[in-house]
Structure 1
Amino acid sequence: MDWIALLALVVLWVGYTTFAYYKGKETPCLASVLALYRRDWMYRLLGRDNRIADASLLQSLRASVSFFASTSILIIAGLVTGIAASEEAVGVLSTIPFVTTNTRELWELKVLVMLVIFVYTFFEFTWSLRLYNFSCVLFGSAPLCQDINGHKTRQAVFATRSAHIMTLAANHFNYGLRAYYFAMATLAWFIHPGLFMGAAALVVFILYRREFHSKVLDALAVSERETHF
């Protein structure tokens, strides 16, 4: 049952990621709509010489990613400690009704799975942070507005490339957050594998609703249709 639950996690996680990637190309979703806003942002940036506000916005994005990357390191340290305290943890869990984690090997397997998940989140967040650092370089190299007036091609090239780098950074940040969601579902595995599979399925439902049918998506899509270039 535990191996089936672990396989279900992998199938649901990989399956939803693949589904969201291809469906996002066909229908509006948070990722695709925000990608258009980033391109519009880059066009606005080219229209002003004072770009302090743009730098502040980018810094706030980097700060969010940096926070989650640091948190992942702390969680990894805690999970390593949890493996070292296997006997004590199993002893505590064995006193709780309906808990199926009753052996040291099973406890260590489940903690190891969570450890792998958070190592993955760390790599996603750090790569996202590096991509935002690359965006800082692009901001610094952006041509002044008086230098590109009338050069529509140059404007389009810069705006498209800069927005693409920022979208890649946002996508990897999203992958890391998605892993956090599934890590929360994995906590249910310590109680019962059936509960774990139900929690993982619930995570997929929540992600789908938020990315493809949320109220914020409706608001962004309407605004994008009204104001997009």
Structure 2
Amino acid sequence: MMSYWDYGFTLLAIVILSSYHIWLLWKTHHQPLSTAIGLSRRIRKIWVKQIIAENQALLAIQTLRNWTMAATLLSSTAILIALGILNVAFVTESEPELAKLIDYLGYPSENFWLLKLITLSSDFFFAFFNFILAIRYYNHVGFIITVSGHEEANIGVESVTKILQRGANHYTLGMRGYYFSIPLSLWLFGSIWLLVGSLLLIVILLRLDRFV
């Protein structure tokens, strides 16, 4: 079973993280240039226009290759971590003594410990799924951006930009999965550490989401 402290701190951490990202979505939608996400979208749109206008196909492929390599590394790491955590969940019979010692306010529960591990593993599976989707869209852009100037292709700047933005959105979501792993990892040591990790993450994101 869970104590009232576990319920309270866990719920508060969820509310804090959810509220921040709801505010970020609103800010990005209404004041896009005030956030790193909105500004990056504007820069990518200008980049596509310039690449097509100046016929810089080689530069486009090199840039897309760098993005794809980064997404590949992050997706591979995410799936390995996710499977490793699942392995721990299957072979661990109870919560480790270290976690019990640090969890001052929690109530030892084997089911709750397994829930924490599964949640953390799911977070990395979420990151993995988004990174492989980012790779998919980047590969599409690599093909269509080189033929966008041909009449037969019937592909304009807006079409290329839309696909690139989709890939970038999935890349951003994948990175959010890595960011969320900070408080979720601390959650293994107790709900109060989940709350501390969530507050720490918000402080970091407040800066990251304001500057590119």
Bin for the TM-score computed over the shorter chain: 0.7 to 0.9
Is 1:79–2:79 an aligned residue pair?
no
Aligned residue for 1:221? none
How does 1:20-31 map onto structure 2 within 5 Å? Answer: 20-27=24-31, 28=33, 29-31=35-37
Contact conserved, 1:83 with 1:111, CA < 8 A, in 2?
A: yes
Structure 1 208/114 Cα, relative in aligned 2: closer, same or farther at 3 Å?
same
Contact conserved, 2:148 with 2:157, CA < 8 A, in 1?
A: no
CA distance in 2, matches of 1:82, 1:134: 37
Aligned residue for 2:191? 193
Contact conserved, 2:57 with 2:146, CA < 8 A, in 1?
A: no
Q: Percent identity?
A: 19
Select 1:11's aligned residue among 11, 15, 24: 15
Structure 1 103/186 Cα, relative in aligned 2: closer, same or farther at 3 Å?
same
CA distance in 1, matches of 2:156, 2:115: 48
Select 2:110's aligned residue among 101, 104, 109: 104
Aligned residue for 2:203? 205
CA distance in 2, matches of 1:161, 1:125: 21
How does 1:69-218 map onto structure 2 within 5 Å? Answer: 69-87=75-93, 90-94=96-100, 96-98=101-103, 100=106, 102-143=108-149, 158-212=156-210, 214=211, 217=212
Contact conserved, 1:72 with 1:122, CA < 8 A, in 2?
A: yes
CA distance in 1, matches of 2:156, 2:51: 10
Contact conserved, 1:90 with 1:101, CA < 8 A, in 2?
A: no
Consecutive unaligned residues of structure 1, counting only runs of 5 or more, are 148-153, 218-229
The Cα of 1:85 is off from its aligned counterpart by: 2.6
Normalising by structure 1, what TM-score? 0.78
Q: Write the letter of the residue equivalent to 1:84.
A: F
Structure 1 202/93 Cα, relative in aligned 2: closer, same or farther at 3 Å?
closer
CA distance in 2, matches of 1:34, 1:177: 15
The Cα of 1:112 is off from its aligned counterpart by: 1.1
Normalising by structure 2, what TM-score? 0.83
